[in-house]
Amino acid sequence: MGKPTGFIDYVREAASELDPQQRIKNWQEFHRHWPEEELRRQAARCMDCGTPYCHTGILLKGMASGCPINNLIPEWNDLVYRGLWHEALERLHRTNNFPEFTGRVCPAPCEGSCNAGLVSAPVTIKEIECTIIDKGWDKGWVVPQPPKVRTGKRVAVVGSGPAGLCAAAQLNRAGHTVTVFERADRVGGLLMYGIPNMKLDKKTVVQRRIGQMVAEGVTFMTNTEVGVHYPAAKLMEEFDAIVLCTGATQPRDLPIEGRDLQGIHFAMDFLTANTKAVLDGHKNGNFINAQGKDVIVIGGGDTGTDCVGTSMRHGCKTVAQLEILPKPPAERAADNPWPEWPKVYRMDYGQEEAAAAFGSDPRRYLTTAKRFEGDNQGRVKAVHTVEIDWEKDAQGRFVPREVGGTEQVRPAQLVLLAMGFLGPEQPLLEQLGVTRDPRSNIQAAFEKYTTNLPKVFAAGDCRRGQSLVVWAFNEGRGAAREVDRFLMGETSLP
């Protein structure tokens, strides 16, 4: 590394963000980059560590450790420290088709396994990554790269989310003619409608990359649901290979008393309609509005946080977030050693905003909903909750037990269910006759991505289940390699 003592000489500094009270007034991105001089100091903190765990990309206890797409992190950290930004961008693009997306929405498992984190704070890898690609766009270094030769092979990609976009980009650059089918009115899947605009700007960031892919020759067919608007049999007839990247969009429900009351919605319905309204300039009015309401979000994770942040921007009266798990510790627990993902207490942007407005973290740990209470018009007006403890049953499994005397009635005119997803929607898979695993995901071996049907491949959440965007990138790139090998007998795709 250019400065072997950088991790000793400099402390970790997080880039600045707009004040929570200010940023909730609009839907714009609120994250700001460091000045170049400071960012180079942060890059200098990357150690000459010998074995950089930051880009291992493995699963430890079911959670990512290191970068799942094996970003060449020490290399581009060193190049940034030396001021060689164009070379850093080239290294970044070797493993990552869309670093402007991961640099904004990835939880950065690379930082959790950074060697510097053993002795001090980890390197600000995510911030450096995002700055490299943003500078590349600003300088005009990111340009369309259409293939010089076409193979004559046609590939269909079903779904334009993270896995689908990566698969399409890679297969197009290999020279195949790629058509991406998207049932929504805009391209991007989760990147477009599942992540709010303040985390990932659609017009500036997402659409910019889509435009590059179009210029490179990728065809996008929006408002086209395969199996509904475009017969599955026709897809099989017209294309030499098919990559299913439909995501895991079947939400987990909460079938308790009062579930059918008005005002109880799945989180993704809330987030999707809101982002569409933002992009349409709030001209359609067809979104679920939290303004002036007591909002309860049931479930944690990124989706729950996004519901909190969106509700804050609507101008909710109050917001509470129910978490069935215990509050994480401030430091790593003994059973959560490095380089595992650190399961420690942290506040994301949504919780920061709620705390700034209402005085405290909106999360209520070890709490679950027992029933919903409605008014005489059939609208939800309260959520009855109870605290729980986790105890082992006869089989040694941890199960929740209610704690007597802890029942509460919480006012709520809007309830958002953010409890994760059960797997992909099934109608298209049934039409195609694709074999599924016991969890209802498409059955396709990792690193092979082949289904039971010849020429049909699967990648992303529809194959592995709900996961990180960066794992979807890993799978999209991997599936592209296997499709290219299937079509050509060999592959040179990275």
**What distances in angstroms separate CA 407 from CA 142, 225, 257, 384, 397, one per listed residue?**
56, 45, 15, 7, 25
**414 and 408 in contact (C-beta within 8 Å)?**
no
* Percent share of the chain, pLDDT over 90: 93
Give me the CATH topology for the region 154-249+424-488.
FAD/NAD(P)-binding domain (3.50.50)
Decide whether 154-249+424-488 matches 253-419 in CATH topology.
yes
- Cβ atoms within 10 Å, residue 492: 9
58-86 pLDDT, tens digit each: 999 989 999 999 999 999 999 999 999 99
pLDDT for residue 99 is more than 90? yes
| CATH top class, domain 253-419 | alpha beta
Paired strand residues for 380: 374
d(CA 93, CA 71): 9
131-135, 220-224, 284-288, 390-394: the lowest-pLDDT one: 284-288
pLDDT for residue 14 is more than 90? no
Burial label for 59, CB within 10 Å (0-12, 13-18, 19+), is middle
Report, as an integer, the average pLDDT of 190-204.
96
| CATH top class, domain 6-139 | mainly alpha
Torsional sign, CA 87, 203, 317, 305: negative
* Percent share of the chain, pLDDT over 70: 100
Tokens at residue 61, please? 């206890």
**287 and 310 in contact (C-beta within 8 Å)?**
no
Reported pTM: 0.95
Length of the chain measured in residues: 494
Q: Between β-strands 177-181 and 154-158, what pairing exists: parallel, antiparallel or unpaired?
A: parallel
Please report the pLDDT score of residue 126 as a whole number.
97
pLDDT for residue 467 is more than 90? yes
**329 and 365 in contact (C-beta within 8 Å)?**
no
pLDDT for residue 282 is more than 80? no
Please report the pLDDT score of residue 48 as a whole number.
85
Please report the pLDDT score of residue 284 as a whole number.
67
pLDDT for residue 119 is more than 90? no
433-464 pLDDT, tens digit each: 999 999 999 999 889 999 999 999 999 999 99
d(CA 101, CA 191): 8
Q: Residue 259 — pLDDT band, cuts 50, 70, 90?
A: very high
475-491 pLDDT, tens digit each: 999 999 999 999 999 99
Cis peptide before 339 (omega within 30 of 0): yes
pLDDT for residue 2 is more than 80? no
Ordered by start, the domain boundaries in the chain are 6-139, 154-249+424-488, 253-419
> Alpha helices of 327-468 — where are they, by DSSP H?
349-358, 427-432, 461-464
**415 and 296 in contact (C-beta within 8 Å)?**
yes
Averaged pLDDT score across all residues of the chain: 96
